Structure 1
Amino acid sequence: MKGYNRPLLLIAVILFIDQVSKFWVKLNMTIGQDFNIIGNKFLIHFIENNGMAYGMEFGGEFGKLFLTLFRIVAVIGIGYGLHYMVKNKYHRGFILNVALIFAGALGNIIDSTFYGTIFSESTFYEKAVLFPEGGGYSSLFHGKVVDMLYFPLIEGNFPDWFPIWGGEHFLFFRPVFNIADSAISVGVFLILIFQKRYFKEEHEEKESVNSEVLED
């Protein structure tokens, strides 16, 4: 179990922070409400989405159900892959990055699967209630994902000479996301950045094992 300690601890920490932040937002904020954290450059801005990470949508009730079930299958696959990597002693950094992706995917699955049954609906005028008497705002697998992290760092207008968007308003960074989305993005980014290191060491270890077998 020694190799599992760090990945499991990382997953537990990400899930805890993700779900605590979402519960707090659901129970204390209305849709569209803002809390300024660092001026107008970092805000807690409450929105919900029916689709994928960073507020992207995947159409209709059937699309929502399909996406939730797909997420569940995907996270089972990632979980099995993580177990395989730990068992076969893959690079620790690679394992931790996959654990980040797993934790993020699982965090959003919890929203999609259960939030519709345990919360009343959040509106522009009313905060949600946990375990409402009349039941939740939706059925199992049809919950909405809670997003709240918003970084509108740069806002302005493109100069008139700028191709296509000349004179139009722009905002960077526009997406609103959550801790789970962040964990997925960080995990993928680190794998892309350090993939040569991760797989080079793994390749060298396999070559070493193979040479030992041949010598025997």
Structure 2
Amino acid sequence: MTRHDPSSPSARRTFPGSLLALAALGALLVAALATWQPPFPSSRSSGDDAPLDGAPRASAVTGAVVVVVQNRNDRYAEGSVPAGVTVFDDQFAAVANLDADLLAALRRAATAAADDGLRLEVNSGWRSAAHQERLLEKAIAERGSAEEAARWVATPETSPHVSGDAVDIGGAGAGWLAVHGAGHGLCQVYDNEPWHFELREYAATDGCPATYADPSRDPRMQQ
């Protein structure tokens, strides 16, 4: 049997080729990491559908590769929610920071809705003033004027979301609440926002008040 001599010229010639192969593989991995973005969810509410506040907030450096990281916890702390959050998920500030009476009414309604096979999912609830300001700026940019934006997004000073007095309910849950919400003191407020509900405790006996065409017609928005 002939043994291979690692010191022979033929053996030495294969070693640089291995190094080149490893270097090429490393370059591919670096390129992949440099372009990778984490698949974070986005909000879906009436004015809250921008992906995680736009610009990245932090970066982690590994060797020569910079991996961009967006901090979901910061976003959630300001009132955004991922898909599927219900009125019982008070680990999210959007739910936990709602007015206590509003939240209690929502949970009573959600229990009743569950008997009909529906979930009351929160698209937006409480929001920080800073988050509300960003939503307003976004609406002005998209709709072309402050006057048109006011039909959809309130200022931080007037928004019932900032005070914790409003919630946006998603999907079929909003339709169920439009029909059954008054019995729990929950009322639709604006014709153009059928997802937006606020607490009107007298509605259980007196019914919900007339709705406004849009937020710009609401006297509370004129402060």
Q: TM-score normalized by structure 2?
A: 0.24
RCO comparison, higher one (Cα < 8 Å, 6+)? 1
Q: TM-score normalized by structure 1?
A: 0.24
Structure label with greater radius of gyration = 2
Higher helix share: 1
